């Protein structure tokens, strides 16, 4: 599953949305996802991609595609392939 | 009260005994208790794992994204307020919303969110505190959301005076209408304290009832010799208050007139009530209504079932009503719906009004063993029907000492 599909699945599940509505060019605000929701969303992204990103979420993520690009950039910047990494400190959750 | 008159035109409840005033009244009339063994995480670690939970489910009223922003206390407040708005048939689209406000009482605000946040930080040792934690747990969240939902741009106030918060919120809202600042107020209380952290803290104070081994639902026994303490409950209750002529002009149905509000403070100790302070609050309410004690037909007591409260409140009622105290029906509906803390005063005011409208006096349940210090007519065990009530009083007292008393009179009791 690619990043877009993963993010779409999370959005559909968490925000009661349909697949048609979460197209790449859909604006987060129009989907009812505000800046605080996006931060909470990042917890799930962290788990999925073994990232630790909470302090780095930029303010200019406005569309679904923006978030996809952001995640892909972080994954690419990881020192190694997804595995035990930055998310370890949340193992208890 | 002097000045402009205040009509109660809408009632709404989300409570342990019903999600509507009708259902609540039917259960009170039948003497049913909403107190039960709690099914919450870690309940087995509680000494007294009982409470009066509401059947309320947030997901039946709000979509998932909205639910994430709302603590249970705000969910219940929004639904109870919406009931009051619908019952009053108010349309804020046609109101001058600068002259409409919100007044909410809550003791603990978004306690579930706070509890959950602490669990994440201290138990899970995680830094994943939910981004909405502050906005969901702040005590004024419920009032804020109600104001946002209806676009009410007048005062938006939250009162936190522990167990009298709801009564204070209603009384202060009435004052604002009387003073001419506003024409419409949604006023009430909300509390959602049935989480492990909150229950454990109340247990630590030694004021919580021991579960009745045979029947947990009978654990709250106000005024009884074998009373052992209060039982926490959750819920929300709201009234729509309206300036009298405003209500008449739009042909609103008027449930009652809010005529009396008395407010005093006990300063003996943060937990210790005094008969003098409570009596002074009742007298202040009577004075503001311009009523003699003899005019009151029913008192919905604070009646927490703690050893101290019930004896002190009984003494205070005798002080105010004299010999007539013995002929005055005084009941504690907390025996059935538990102690809703910051919502209690609002819920019990709604119950007092609904009882007056229906000509019923709800009972004090589980009162088979009389306490010599509590010797009034507590309407034990059975509701009374076919009773003509023209004026009702609702008492709310609190840790911290804020004593608040509300009086409502039947529509048509004065013209």
| Domain assignment of residue B150, yes or no | yes
Distance CA B8, CA B403 (A): 22
Q: Do A43 and B128 touch (CB under 8 A)?
A: yes
Q: Which of A14, A75, A76 is nearest to A50 (CA)?
A: A75
Size of interface A-B (CB pairs under 8 A): 36
Question: Which residue ranges make up each domain of chain A?
Answer: 3-88
Residue B358 confidence (pLDDT): 98
Q: Do B135 and A36 touch (CB under 8 A)?
A: yes
Residue B3 confidence (pLDDT): 78
Q: Please indicate, yes or no, whether residues B39 and B180 belong to a single structural domain of this protein.
A: yes
Prediction ipTM score: 0.73
Q: Is B269 a catalytic residue?
A: no
Distance CA A41, CA A67 (A): 10
Which CATH number fits the domain that encloses residue B239?
A: 3.40.47.10
Q: What is the pLDDT of residues B97-147, one digit of tens each?
A: 999 999 999 999 999 999 999 999 999 999 899 999 999 999 999 999 999
State the nearest Cα–Cα gap between A2 and chain B, in angstroms.
24
Which of B63, B113, B127, B131 is the best residue to mutate to test the A interface, defined by the most A CB atoms within 10 Å of its own CB?
A: B131
Q: What is the pTM of this model?
A: 0.93
Residue A57 confidence (pLDDT): 84
Q: Is B25 a catalytic residue?
A: no
- Exactly one of B255, B302, B337, B366 is catalytic; name it: B302
Number of domains in chain B: 2
Answer whether residue A85 shows pLDDT above 80.
no
Q: Please indicate, yes or no, whether residues B362 and B405 belong to a single structural domain of this protein.
A: yes
Q: Please indicate, yes or no, whether residues B230 and B319 belong to a single structural domain of this protein.
A: no
pLDDT interval class at B2 (50, 70, 90): low
Q: Please indicate, yes or no, whether residues B245 and B272 belong to a single structural domain of this protein.
A: no
Q: Do A37 and B124 touch (CB under 8 A)?
A: no
Q: Do A36 and B131 touch (CB under 8 A)?
A: yes
Q: Please indicate, yes or no, whether residues B20 and B143 belong to a single structural domain of this protein.
A: yes
Query: What architecture (CATH level 2) is domain A3-88?
Result: Orthogonal Bundle (1.10)
Q: Please indicate, yes or no, whether residues B285 and B226 belong to a single structural domain of this protein.
A: no
State the nearest Cα–Cα gap between A90 and chain B, in angstroms.
6
Chain B interface includes A36 (CB < 8 A): yes
Run of H or E including B187: strand B184-191
Q: What is the pLDDT of residues B170-210, one digit of tens each?
A: 999 999 999 999 999 999 999 999 999 999 999 999 999 99
Q: Please indicate, yes or no, whether residues B391 and B298 belong to a single structural domain of this protein.
A: yes
Of B203, B219, B249, the residue at which a domain comes to its end is B249
| Residue partners of B301: CB distance under 8 A and separation at least 6 | B222, B223, B313, B317, B330, B331, B332, B364, B378, B395
State the nearest Cα–Cα gap between B334 and chain A, in angstroms.
38
Domain of residue B86 covers: 6-249
| Domain assignment of residue B1, yes or no | no
Q: What is the pLDDT of residues B11-59, one digit of tens each?
A: 999 999 999 999 999 999 999 999 999 999 999 999 999 999 999 999 9
Of B249, B277, B300, the residue at which a domain comes to its end is B249
Q: Please indicate, yes or no, whether residues B234 and B360 belong to a single structural domain of this protein.
A: no
Dihedral in degrees, nearest 10, Cα atoms B125, B129, B134, B136: -110
Q: Is B339 a catalytic residue?
A: yes
Q: Please indicate, yes or no, whether residues B46 and B117 belong to a single structural domain of this protein.
A: yes
Distance CA B72, CA B367 (A): 32
Q: Do A40 and B63 touch (CB under 8 A)?
A: no
| Domain assignment of residue B281, yes or no | yes
Answer whether residue B407 shows pLDDT above 50.
yes
Q: Please indicate, yes or no, whether residues B244 and B275 belong to a single structural domain of this protein.
A: no
Q: Please indicate, yes or no, whether residues B307 and B205 belong to a single structural domain of this protein.
A: no
Q: B298 versus A86: which is more confidently predicted?
A: B298
State the nearest Cα–Cα gap between A40 and chain B, in angstroms.
6
Q: What is the pLDDT of residues B303-356, one digit of tens each?
A: 999 999 999 999 999 999 999 999 999 999 999 999 999 999 999 999 999 999
Q: What is the pLDDT of residues B345-404, one digit of tens each?
A: 999 999 999 999 999 999 999 999 999 999 999 999 999 999 999 999 999 999 999 999
Of B202, B220, B249, the residue at which a domain comes to its end is B249
Q: What is the pLDDT of residues B150-169, one digit of tens each?
A: 999 999 999 999 999 999 99
Query: Could you give the maximum distance between any two Cα atoms of chain B, in Å?
Result: 63
Q: Please indicate, yes or no, whether residues B245 and B345 belong to a single structural domain of this protein.
A: no
Residue A83 confidence (pLDDT): 47
Using an 8 Å CB-CB cutoff, list chain B residues near A15: 64-65
| Alpha carbon distance, N-terminus to C-terminus of chain A | 24
């Amino acid at each position: 599953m690619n990043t877009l599909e993963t993010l779409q699945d999370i959005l559909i599940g968490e925000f009661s949305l349909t697949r048609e509505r979460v197209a790449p060019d859909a604006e987060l605000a129009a989907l009812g996802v505000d800046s605080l929701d996006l931060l909470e969303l990042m917890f799930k992204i962290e788990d999925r991609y073994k990232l630790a990103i909470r302090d780095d979420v930029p303010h200019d993520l406005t569309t679904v595609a923006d978030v996809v690009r952001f995640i892909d950039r972080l994954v690419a910047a990881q020192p190694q392939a997804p595995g035990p990494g930055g998310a370890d400190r949340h193992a208890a959750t | 009260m002097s000045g402009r008159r205040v009509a109660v035109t809408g009632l709404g409840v989300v409570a342990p005994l019903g999600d509507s005033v009708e259902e609540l009244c039917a259960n009170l009339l039948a003497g049913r208790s909403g107190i039960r063994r709690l099914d919450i995480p870690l309940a087995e670690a509680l000494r007294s794992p009982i409470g009066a939970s509401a059947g309320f489910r947030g997901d039946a009223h709000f979509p998932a994204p909205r639910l994430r922003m709302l603590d249970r206390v705000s969910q219940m407040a929004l639904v109870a307020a919406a009931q009051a708005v619908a019952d009053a048939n108010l349309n804020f689209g046609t109101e001058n919303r600068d002259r409409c406000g919100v007044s909410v009482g809550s003791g603990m605000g978004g306690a579930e969110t706070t509890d959950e946040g602490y669990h994440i930080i201290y138990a899970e040792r995680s830094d994943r505190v939910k981004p909405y934690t502050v906005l969901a747990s702040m005590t004024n969240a419920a009032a804020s959301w109600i104001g946002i939902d209806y676009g009410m741009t007048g005062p938006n106030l939250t009162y936190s005076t522990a167990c009298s918060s709801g009564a204070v919120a209603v009384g202060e809202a009435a004052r604002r209408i009387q003073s001419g600042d506003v024409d419409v107020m949604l006023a009430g209380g909300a509390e959602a304290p049935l989480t492990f952290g909150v229950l454990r803290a109340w247990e630590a104070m030694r004021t919580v009832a021991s579960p009745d081994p045979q029947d947990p639902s009978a654990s709250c026994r106000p005024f009884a010799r074998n009373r052992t303490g209060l039982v926490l409950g959750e819920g929300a209750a709201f009234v729509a208050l309206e300036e009298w002529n405003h209500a008449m002009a739009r042909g609103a149905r008027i449930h009652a007139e809010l005529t009396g509000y008395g407010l005093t403070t006990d300063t003996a100790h943060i937990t210790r009530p005094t008969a003098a302070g409570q009596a002074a609050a009742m007298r202040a309410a009577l004075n503001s209504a311009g009523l003699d004690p003899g005019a009151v037909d029913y008192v919905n007591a604070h009646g927490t079932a703690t050893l101290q409260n019930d004896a002190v409140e009984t003494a205070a009622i005798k002080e105010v009503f004299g010999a007539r105290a013995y002929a005055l029906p005084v009941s504690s509906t907390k025996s059935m719906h538990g102690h809703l803390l910051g919502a209690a005063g609002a819920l019990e005011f709604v119950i007092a009004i609904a009882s007056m409208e229906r000509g019923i006096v709800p009972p004090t349940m589980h009162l088979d063993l009389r306490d010599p210090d509590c010797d009034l007519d507590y309407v034990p065990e059975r509701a009374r029907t076919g009773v003509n009530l023209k004026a009702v009083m609702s008492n709310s007292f609190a840790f911290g000492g804020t004593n608040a008393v509300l009086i409502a009179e039947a529509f048509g009791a004065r013209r």
